[in-house]
Amino acid sequence: MRLTVIGCSGSFPGPDSPASCYLLEHQGFRLLLDLGSGALGPLQRYAGLFDIDAICLSHLHADHCLDLCGYWVARTYAPDGARPRMPVYGPAGTARRMAQAYGLEEHPGMAEAFDFRTLEPGTREIGPFEITVDRVNHPVETFGFRVTVAGRTIAYSADTGESGALVDLARGADLLLCEASFLDSPALPAGLHLTARQAAEHAARAGAGQLVLTHLVPWNDAQRSLREAAPRFGGPLALASSGMVIDLG
């Protein structure tokens, strides 16, 4: 399984990265976790525009789903022929929300290009991947992911505050891709995002093999995030960056 970080900027695109988007590949199948604002352009450096097989949207904040609008344009109007509808998995109401985002009528909305499917907690197969999802701790319905194939596992936090569900999703994973939006400071809001320290604590509790900090808000000092995480997690630790590739074999 190969992970390519397309975008890792938190809340909005930064100068060095678009917002959240992660490409997972195995045996020619390409799955996107999120397609946030600014991600569709850089994605094309790593996969053909029409070579994506499925998309999972963790939640419906713009920095995780908005570039589905541009992708709908490409899949609808590209001049080289019709394409089958592509599966898009997301929270309840995803089809309606994406139609609204582009100013479309709810019916058909984007349904002629995308086959919208509603996520629920549990395990399903998407292509070669076994994917377990559960709700994490964020103000809107948000799902974290555990993706397993060929004996390797990647867990993805999406956006979350402290979450027992995230620890369960990441239990024994080879890699936890975990949001680290906040730096340590007094009186941070609960149930919104993790600090880098909290991300490391979740990874340690889960026994994850390695930790990659992502959803890095542009105005924060990313190196400070790394320093705050390091004492709480004993395994390999890194900052996500656009274009980072991790091959788990």
| Number of helices (H), then strands (E), in the chain | 7, 14
What digits encode the pLDDT tens for the residues 3-35? Answer: 999 999 999 999 999 999 999 999 999 999 999
CB 215 within 8 A of CB 180: yes
Quote the CA–CA distance of 34 and 58 in Å, as a whole number. 6
Task: Name the pTM for this structure.
Answer: 0.97
pLDDT at 149 over 90: yes
How crowded is residue 225: how many other Cβ atoms within 10 Å of its Cβ?
Answer: 24
Torsion of CA 63, 64, 68, 69, to 10 degrees: -30
Q: 237: pLDDT confidence band, cut at 50, 70 and 90?
A: very high
> 125: exposed, middle or buried (C-beta count within 10 Å: 0-12, 13-18, 19+)?
exposed
Maximum pairwise Cα distance, the chain: 56
Report, at the CATH architecture level, how domain 2-247 is classified. 4-Layer Sandwich (3.60)
pLDDT at 82 over 90: no
Predicted pLDDT of residue 249: 79
Q: Pick the range with the lowest mean pLDDT from 53-67, 69-83, 95-109.
A: 69-83
Predicted pLDDT of residue 187: 87
Q: What backbone phi and psi angles, to 5 degrees, belong to 98?
A: -70, -35
pLDDT at 116 over 90: yes
Sorted by where each begins, the domain ranges of the chain are 2-247
Half-sphere exposure of 242 (CA within 13 A, CB side): 25
How much is the average pLDDT of 113-126? 98
